[in-house]
Amino acid sequence: MNKTITLKSLAKMIDHSLLHPTMTDSDIISGCEIAKQYDVATVCVKPYAVSMCKEALQDSDVEVCSVIGFPHGNNTTAIKVAETLQATQDGAAEIDMVINIGKALGGDWEFVRADIAAVNKSCLENNAILKVIFEADYLQDENIIKLCEICSDIKVAFVKTSSGYGFVKQSNGDYNYKGATDHVLTLMREHIAPEVQVKAAGGVRNLDRLLHVRELGATRCGSTSTEATLEEAKRRGYR
């Protein structure tokens, strides 16, 4: 156990993910209670739930993060900006936006840059920070490197590996995803500006993985298994 890592520092790496399409309001409020209990960084929620979660978390240090253009990034830029404005007005302090994946794969980097820059501008004007979701399972290394260059130029707060819902058809016909792999995290940390942070999302389901992505340079992660991860940290002596 690394004695310099505390239970609180581990908790503050976590965006507690409440994004599954079947989640009811009751499920989301229960998730907010878990987030408060463990004092995580944020709850990451659907746009409609921002004001509800802001109220549920008002007596805590847990912020609200809203996804934008989720999960496939195909909204027009104007709609992404409008979503961002609504979310920040409702109380979101952080915004996780999915890039236009098809535009990135097609090499229309002017569109991709303008899309990210517009949402980042809206965030900055409304006291929020932006995390840019790449959806790395769909991309090649050269796409990821180019996105890192763009996000470095724009000076976003974070780049993020995945949405957790970018399912790719596998060779056996099943749909699955890899998410925050060591390779992708290493590539992103290597090519993003030092001041831009990296969020790992997809597959960070236990304490060992959380500690490992931290070693790779991720300072935030999305998790649906917050309780199990932090209880394991307690059992191992993190205080």
Tell me if 114 is assigned to some domain: yes
pLDDT at 176: 83
Task: Read off the DSSP letter of residue 194.
Answer: T
Tell me if 135 is assigned to some domain: yes
Q: Which two tokens stand for residue 11?
A: 């908790």
Query: Which residue is catalytic, options 54, 131, 146, 160?
Result: 160
Tell me if 1 is assigned to some domain: no
Tell me if 53 is assigned to some domain: yes
Spatial neighbors of 31 by CB under 8 A, at least 6 apart, are: 16, 18, 23, 43
Write out residues in the chain with pLDDT < 70, as ranges.
1-3
pLDDT at 177: 84
Contact 68, 83 (CB under 8 A): yes
The reply to whether 141 belongs to the active site is no
What's the domain count of the chain? 1
The reply to whether 153 belongs to the active site is no
pLDDT in tens, 100-158: 999 999 999 999 999 999 999 999 999 999 999 999 999 999 999 999 999 999 999 99
The reply to whether 46 belongs to the active site is no
Rounded CA gap, 168 and 42, in Å?
27
pTM above 0.75, yes or no: yes
pLDDT in tens, 164-173: 898 888 888 8
Tell me if 2 is assigned to some domain: no
pLDDT at 215: 98
Rounded CA gap, 228 and 103, in Å?
38
Tell me if 120 is assigned to some domain: yes
Query: Which residue is catalytic, options 96, 115, 137, 146?
Result: 96
Tell me if 199 is assigned to some domain: yes
Q: Output the domain CATH number for residue 172.
A: 3.20.20.70
* E-assigned strand segments in the chain: 14-18, 42-45, 63-68, 94-98, 129-133, 158-160, 168-169, 175-176, 197-200, 218-223
Tell me if 127 is assigned to some domain: yes
Query: Which residue is catalytic, options 54, 103, 131, 199?
Result: 199
Q: Give the structural domain span for 44.
A: 7-235
